[in-house]
A = this chain, B = another copy of it.
Amino acid sequence: MVQTVIPKATAKRLPLYYRYLNFLYNAGKKKVSSTELSEVVKVDSATIRRDFSYFGALGKRGYGYDVETLLNFFKKTLNQDHLTNVALVGVGNLGHALLNYNFQQTNNIRISAAFDVNPEIAGTIQSGVPVYAMDDMVNQLKIQQIDIVILTVPAEDAQAVSEQLIQAGIKGIMNFTPMRISLPANVRVQNVDLANELQTLIYFLDHYSKKDKLHHLQSS
Contacts and interface: CB of A to CB of B under 8 A. Distances in A.
A195 B107 CA distance: 7
Given A207-B5, A216-B185, A174 B198 contact: yes
B19 A203 contact: no
B6 A178 contact: no
Given A189-B218, A192-B192, A40 B180 contact: yes
Interface in A156-208: 171-172, 174, 178, 180, 182, 185-208
Given A185-B216, A215-B188, A202 B79 contact: yes
A85 B199 CA distance: 12
Contacts of A192: 192, 194, 197
Contact of A219 (B98, B189, B214): B189
B195 A109 contact: yes
A187 to B, nearest CB: 7
A19 B107 contact: no
B178 A201 contact: no
A103 B5 contact: no
A103 B188 contact: no
A188 B101 CA distance: 25
Interface string A96-134: 111011010011010000000000000000000000000
A70 interface: no
8 contacts: A5-B207, A14-B200, A16-B193, A42-B182, A103-B198, A109-B199, A186-B215, A193-B220
